[in-house]
Every structure is written in structure tokens, then in C-alpha cells.
Structure 1
């Protein structure tokens, strides 16, 4: 099949595209900047020439790119916590849905995968997240845009559009084109500190998520409810995550012990300061709720359907830290024994 992929310059889109190429599919990529995308795929043994340069909101460019394609993976999204860009973030992500998925449906493409986020299902007071969990009500522009995009895509599903939705948790792993937010978090955990607080951290290996996306492209479903897949990976309490990091690196992982209520208060304070003087930071009220109140999400549906299993947390963390050290994203002293392994 020829698959049209958006977001291949980012972490999720790049790994998904590579999984599709390994499975023998032909790709056409929608990109903003072709040079780094070409370099990334050539570096990983997949020289690509079929690139469409443009913005995902440009419906005319998107329609030209979709011509002759059998399937679509929409993984592109604008990600920023800068409040000054809130309207841009919101409109970019919502308008991208209209242009990419709307155009694909209008052209009669019957294999469409939309990459959402597990964060759209998060809400206080629940004990488990699965495909039946209703959408939450996030406040931050990026999370709100993803939530509203998801609501729109669900309406399209209900009206008969052949769209499947994936809900990944924090995506980590090696071979990241730009060092995404989740991988940046892992780097901070090993080089600065991680919180020892309530709840824990759930993350999925980008290579496992890519396998799930390949399955979804190759196996369309009819009923909307059966076309929604949580791909959440493994859940670790913060204490267990610290122990894992120490085991794979062979060095002590710094940590800060802090009650959840205090971290949430810090997040609220950061939001107030951001309103007075905008700045970009991973600390926010919403983020601290994720850190301190996250509940495990269940991925049984995709694991059964695709007959797959997730890599162990230990393998994912070791591969990620080894890659960050080799790529220059992490000083070798923080990678511990993995720094030596990365040079062999």
C-alpha cells in the first residue's frame, strides 16, 4: 500500500513510518522541512524521495499529497506549553484534523489512523483508563486541542468515517529526531532528579507504538468503538522507576521526595507566573496532576488484536539512555555503564 504520513519529522511519526517501510509499504510524507527528514530516514537505511512540502492545515496541498494513496496516518501536531501561542496551538491542531482526515474521507480512503493522546482520557477520581473512559476536560491549550480533535474524530467515526484512533501514553525510546518531551523527561530523571510522590509514570516504547500503528493501517475495522486503541505500555510507580534507572545505569538516580499536593501547588503557581510573564516550562498545574494522580491505563485490546507484547521497561529505558548518550543528548557520566555500551 501507499501510505500518506504526517508528522514523520517527529518521534512517533518517524518510528511509525519506519515500521511501515519495513513491512513493505510505500510512503508519501507531508513535511514542513524536507532536509532533516531525508537525512533521518537515509541514516536509518530508508532513502525517501516522495515528500510533499507544506502545512497540514493547507487542504489543497494535503489533497494533492493524498492522490493515489491507500491509507493515512495522521501523527502531526503542534506541541508547546507557551501560553503566548495558545490560539496558534489550538487552531493548528484542530484545523489539521479538518484538512487531513476530512480530505482523506472525501477522497474515499478507507484506512485512516489518527494518533491522539492518552492525556485526553485523564481525569481526577478514576481508578483505571480504558477505551470506555469518557474524554476529560484539560485546561492547557495543547491538551485541550487534542481533546477537541479527538471529540471531532469520534463524531466522524460515528458518521461512518473509516478512522481508527490510537491513544499512546508518554512515548520514549531511541532514535528520536528532535528529543521529544517524554525523552527529555527521562534525561532529566537521570541527570537532575525525579519525583518520589504519589502515582507513577506510564510510558510506551516508540517501536511498540509503531508496531500498533502498522497493525491498524493493515487491519481496518468497521464499528467506531472497536477502532479505538489504548497503547499505553508499562506503568511504574515513581519509586520503581527510580530503581529501574539505577539498575540500568549502575549509578544512583537523584530524587526529590515531595507530596502530591505540594507538587500540584507548585504547578498552580507556575501557571500564575506564566500569565504575568509567559515562559515555557514542563511545570504546570495540568502536568503536576499527571505526575501525582495518574492511574494505569489498560492496553489489552491492542495487545490481543495485534498479537503483540510491549518491551520491558528495563529494555526501553536502557536503549533510550544508551542512545541519548551516543547522540550527545546526555553526558556520559549520567548514562553510567550504558555510556560504555553505546560506544561499542
Structure 2
């Protein structure tokens, strides 16, 4: 099967490409920068000649049409994931407008299967605490979740009109080999460095990128319909920090405060961030998301894929961050 993948040089996309190649599929990538392909997939042991590369952007109809032409399936993984409000316009353009362009082009080309990579955040809304297969599109105003909700609405509309669209809902994801060091792995790095002493009390749904990539490969089966959740765990922030302590062997002092107390600080950060050249890891969106502690219904479909132990995910990710010098190596005692 020839599978066109958007976002293939990103975290989820690169791991998905690796799974697809491992499953015997031919893969075509739509990328803005062909020079980024090797760095994204080489650590995942994807053979250099296994990929066909088309240069273009998901918001450009002509390049997208060329990328999906002749494909048996499309995995639309291109997305901007960030709680940084400076990237709001970029998120709207890529997450929402790009989804419309890609899914429309896939329908016109007669593609037999489209996997739209959504997010559990696309189902978030005020008062929502549990999400599942029948959850409506989210109504939150947080920029990232709002743009993913907009793309979710687009994907559902195409599906209702008869397009062969299936949807995946990844949780927050960790894992090794993140080409661009995205939001979650950056937060893990900062935690392991000991520069995140304050945490909102609450919880988050979190998983391993390799498990979600395996889900995407499974969604290419013609027998699968509907929406399916990436395997993961619901952890409190205290449990998350405890796992990082275990993986790093560091004490990592941390204080857990009610999200309502930290929310004003997060709003202040959102106001200051556009004026500050460096990223401040205390965005209101992240605080509110953790404070809401949204859970995935345990009966929701993951295609019976089981999440690997969270301690394994953290250990593997910390090892990779250390090997790439994102986390300093611990000096042996003198």
C-alpha cells in the first residue's frame, strides 16, 4: 500500500512513518523542508530509500494534490502542538486550514483510507471531565485545543459526507527521538533539569508516541471505522514527577498547588510571553488542562492496543534526552 503522510518530520509523524515502513507499506512524505527528513527518520532505522518525498505545505492545494495523487491511504499528522499563544495564527493555519486542504484533496483523488490525527484536546470543553467514543467536538477557547477542535469538526464533516475517514485521538505524548523537541518532551527535560518546582495539582492523560504510531498503522485496516484513542495512562502531576525522579535518580523538589491559584500567573505569562524572547514554561493553557484532569473513558476504543508501562516511557525518553545532551549527564561522586 502507498501511504502519503503529512507531518512526517514531526514527533508523531516520524514514529508513524517508522511503523508504516516496518509493516511493509511504501511511504510518501509531504514536507516543507526535505533536509529535515533524514534527521527525523534515521534514528528510527528507516532505510534511506524507503521514502518518496514531495516538497510542499499542507495549506497549499497544488502541492497537497500532488502528494496524495495515486496514494492508497493518507495519514494526516501535520499539526502544530503548543500552548504558546505566540503561535496561535500558525496553529489555526496548519491545524484547521491544513486539514481542510488535505482531506478535500484526498477525496478528489479517490484515496481509499484517510487517517486524521486529532487529539484528545479536540474534545475538551468547560465542565468536561471524561471523554470517549461519543464525545462531541470540544468547545474550549484555549488556542491549541480550539484549533484541534476546528480540525476535528472538519474531519467529522468529511466522514459524514461519506469520505473514508477514521480518526485517532492521541493523548499527551512522550518518547525518544523527537525531531523538534515538542511541548511534552521539553516539559520532561525541564522537569529533569529541576527548573519546574511548581506544578498545578490535577492530572493528565499521557502515553508513548510509539504506541500511538502502532495505532496509526492499525487504522489502515479497511475494517476499522470511527474514532480510536491512543493508548495511555491517566496520571496525577505528583505521579508524573515521581516517575521522573525514579528515572533520573534526582530528588527534583516540587510543590503542587491548586490550578486555580496558578491560573492567574499563567494568564500573566501569556501576556508577557510575546514581549519575552525565550519560552516561559508556565502557560495558562497547560495549567488549565492539567487542572481539568480530563480522563479518557476506559471503555473507549484503542483497538485493544495496550499502553506500555509509563515508567518505561519515561526511562527511555530520559535516556534519549541525556544521550542528546538535552539533560546534563550526572557527574559521579568524587
- TM-score by length of structure 2 reads 0.90
* 8 Å CA contact 1:268, 1:285 repeated in 2: yes
Structure 1, 67-76 or 242-251: larger mean CA deviation:
242-251
* 8 Å CA contact 1:83, 1:278 repeated in 2: no
The answer for the alignment partner of 1:41 in structure 2 is 41
The answer for the alignment partner of 2:7 in structure 1 is 7
Taking a change above 3 Å as real, the CA distance of residues 56 and 250 of structure 1, as seen in their structure-2 partners, is same
Mapped partners of 2:328, 2:276: distance in 1 = 32
| Partner SS, residue 178 of structure 2 | coil
The answer for the alignment partner of 1:51 in structure 2 is 53
Query: Within the alignment, does 1:202 sit opposite 2:199 as a pair?
Result: no
The answer for the alignment partner of 1:288 in structure 2 is 287
The answer for the alignment partner of 1:330 in structure 2 is 327
* 8 Å CA contact 2:44, 2:177 repeated in 1: no
Taking a change above 3 Å as real, the CA distance of residues 255 and 152 of structure 1, as seen in their structure-2 partners, is same
The answer for the alignment partner of 1:28 in structure 2 is 28
For structure 2, the residue ranges without an aligned partner over 5 or more in a row are: none
The answer for the alignment partner of 1:243 in structure 2 is 242
Mapped partners of 2:173, 2:116: distance in 1 = 16
* 8 Å CA contact 1:30, 1:52 repeated in 2: yes
Taking a change above 3 Å as real, the CA distance of residues 109 and 299 of structure 1, as seen in their structure-2 partners, is farther
Q: In the TM superposition, what are the counterparts of 1:87-166 in structure 2 within 5 Å?
A: 87-166=89-168
Query: Within the alignment, does 1:75 sit opposite 2:77 as a pair?
Result: yes
Give the number of aligned pairs: 329
Taking a change above 3 Å as real, the CA distance of residues 274 and 282 of structure 1, as seen in their structure-2 partners, is same
Mapped partners of 2:256, 2:43: distance in 1 = 41
- Alpha-carbon displacement from aligned partner over 1:255-274 (angstroms, at most 9, x marks no partner): 12322211112122223445
* 8 Å CA contact 1:325, 1:331 repeated in 2: yes
Taking a change above 3 Å as real, the CA distance of residues 127 and 22 of structure 1, as seen in their structure-2 partners, is same
The answer for the alignment partner of 2:310 in structure 1 is 313
Taking a change above 3 Å as real, the CA distance of residues 268 and 144 of structure 1, as seen in their structure-2 partners, is same
Taking a change above 3 Å as real, the CA distance of residues 85 and 290 of structure 1, as seen in their structure-2 partners, is closer
Mapped partners of 1:232, 1:308: distance in 2 = 6
- Alpha-carbon displacement from aligned partner over 1:119-177 (angstroms, at most 9, x marks no partner): 12123423322122222223243332211111111111111111011111111101111
- TM-score by length of structure 1 reads 0.88
Structure 1, 293-302 or 2-11: larger mean CA deviation:
293-302
The answer for the alignment partner of 2:218 in structure 1 is 215
For structure 1, the residue ranges without an aligned partner over 5 or more in a row are: 337-344
Mapped partners of 1:42, 1:180: distance in 2 = 18
